[in-house]
Amino acid sequence: METRVSQYLLSIGVVILIAFNLQNCNAQTRFAQKTGTLAPDTGLSQEINKQVQAGRLDVQLYYPKSVHRFYQQNGFKPAWIKPQSETGPAWQTMLMLDCVLQFGLSHADYHPQELLYSRLHDILDTPGKVKPDLQARFDIILTDAVITLMNHLHYGKLNPEFLAGRIDKGVGNGFEAASYLYRALKEKDVMAAIAHVQPKAKEYTALQYQMHLLEGLYQGDCYEIPEEKVRKIAINMERLRWANTEDSVYVQINIPSYSLKLSLPDSTYQFKVIVGKPENPTPTLVSKIVYFTTAPEWKIPAKIFRQEVLPKALADNVYLENSHFAIYDHQGNYVEPLKINLANVKRNPDLYYARQSAGCDNALGLLVFRFPNVYDIYLHDTPEQKLFRQKERALSHGCIRVEQAEKLAALLLKNDGSATKIAALHNGVVKYLKQDIYLKKPVAIKITYLTCEIKEGEYITYNDIYNLDKSLEMALYGVDQPLSMR
């Protein structure tokens, strides 16, 4: 008899019920799940305590410290090996682990050799058949698998900032799987609780639903499902997990689509952007926009100063003046742009730097958005507005130039409850007045690298301008060669 299970995905505050047949999951789910009465075993908790406290399984666990924290909270009682119906937490969780392909993940990462339906069936249905130490081992391994799944769903499997070891220590972005699992096991629908840890962003939810269709509903129904499409969706879901925030208001810049999206609670605004050239790629990151600067000065990065500004200044004696550049030493002394002085600067360029003064020709334009980041990049206006008419816009040295920068700043101020500052913003822009305008509440900014997305139900792809898809596919799927190269 077919069994129906349900999982819930939270999308824009609405819970969407997705029903799927278990025949689309692993064939092991076809085991009959008639449960009898499990005889109480006072030694099981002691066995779990012994195995967890002794660290006997650490070498086989992906998140040993998290597993230890969970069982401490749970009083070392078994989480899964206890009397339950066919919809109990152990069966729900086993079924969800069977269907991880629908989340763009791999069965191999969740102890498939140990977590067998036949073994759980023996433990729950035939009291005394399986020894307490093996029951305890099954309970611990299943706990580790679920904690691993939740961390993969929330942080991503290959998050460059939140590595597994860091997450296991409890150092994350506010989500801690052990405590969450302890609470989730009190819920009737454990599957829904686990799925709830995923990003809530619309872009992610749309891709996840598409993956559910491809790896769930369409499987076995004579649909031709390109594996390359499945993998592309999976790697972009992974990237969105890296940028996972709970903010309802955020700025998202997607590098391959050359676009910026301002997401507000009641509306969304789109802007064109210019991003870094392949030789100067724009990094992905998550930060918060703290303030804006009108009519900014620009301290030129050392590499640009050495490789571009200085050679042009030596070749053209009016280049610095026409570009509004000035050269200083590190004591702040101005260097007069004479040939002899520039020759000295060329011999020791690291002892000097250049600044560009505010004005309509400033490389940062008339407005820059400030957000802390280790890459020292900006989101800013530009005097070269004609470049936004180009289709391919990987043209900068790594910073992001945005069209209609003043409009974006005004929308952020209005949403911030700071509409009274919009006049000062405009005055600073049109009169070249340098000023810093702070937001009351900093706004999340996410710079992503998504090479596909779902828009109004349509699957759309973008050029992989930095050629990053192949390496991520190889790492995520554990293959030596991506499908596109076979």
Residues sharing a CB contact under 8 Å with residue 401, sequence separation 6 or more, in sequence order: 273, 274, 365, 380, 381, 382, 384, 387
Q: CA-CA distance, 430 to 213, in Å (whole number)? A: 51
Contact between 447 and 283 under an 8 Å Cβ cutoff? The reply is yes
Beta-strand relationship, 250-254 and 259-263: antiparallel
Mean pLDDT of all residues in the chain? 87
pLDDT, tens digit, 9 for 90 and up, residues 116-128: 999 999 999 887 8
Residue 385 DSSP code:
G
Segment 44-71 mean pLDDT: 89
Percent of the chain with pLDDT over 70: 88
Q: CA-CA distance, 287 to 313, in Å (whole number)? A: 36
Q: CA-CA distance, 301 to 43, in Å (whole number)? A: 66
By three-state DSSP, how is residue 4 classified? strand
Residue 215 DSSP code:
I
In the chain, which segments carry CATH 2.40.440.10? 248-294+363-450
pLDDT for res 334: 86
pLDDT over threshold 90, residue 22:
no
Segment 450-465 mean pLDDT: 95
pLDDT, tens digit, 9 for 90 and up, residues 98-149: 999 999 999 999 999 999 999 999 999 887 889 999 999 999 999 999 999 9
Sequence letter at residue 479: V
Query: Tokens representing 335?
Result: 């260097």
Residue 229 DSSP code:
H
Indicate the pLDDT class of residue 332, thresholds 50, 70 and 90: confident
pTM (two decimals): 0.82
Distance from chain centroid for Cα 309: 36
Segment 445-456 mean pLDDT: 96
CA nearest neighbour of 327 among 336, 319, 318? 336
Contact between 253 and 287 under an 8 Å Cβ cutoff? The reply is no
pLDDT for res 324: 77
Query: Tokens representing 346?
Result: 């060329």
At CB < 8 A and 24+ separation, what contacts does 168-171 make?
168/63, 168/64, 168/65, 168/66, 169/65, 170/65, 170/66, 170/69
Measured between alpha carbons, how far is residue 222 from residues 28, 218, 290, 332 in Å? 22, 8, 52, 71
Lowest-pLDDT range of 330-334, 432-436, 447-451: 330-334
pLDDT over threshold 80, residue 359:
no
Q: CA-CA distance, 251 to 256, in Å (whole number)? A: 16
- Residue whose token pair is 């940028």: 243
CATH number of 248-294+363-450: 2.40.440.10
pLDDT, tens digit, 9 for 90 and up, residues 203-230: 999 999 999 988 877 665 556 778 899 9
pLDDT over threshold 50, residue 14:
no
Query: For residues 173-197, b (16+ Cβ closer than 10 Å) or e, as one string?
Result: eebbbbebbbebbeeebbbbbbbbb
Beta-strand relationship, 394-396 and 268-276: parallel
Q: CA-CA distance, 206 to 455, in Å (whole number)? A: 8
Q: What is the CA radius of gyration of the chain?
A: 28
CA nearest neighbour of 290 among 420, 438, 428? 438
Q: CA-CA distance, 88 to 84, in Å (whole number)? A: 5
pLDDT for res 216: 76
- Residue whose token pair is 């509306």: 267
Q: Which residues pair with 263 in a beta bridge?
A: 250, 268
pLDDT for res 441: 97
Contact between 116 and 137 under an 8 Å Cβ cutoff? The reply is no
Q: CA-CA distance, 67 to 55, in Å (whole number)? A: 10
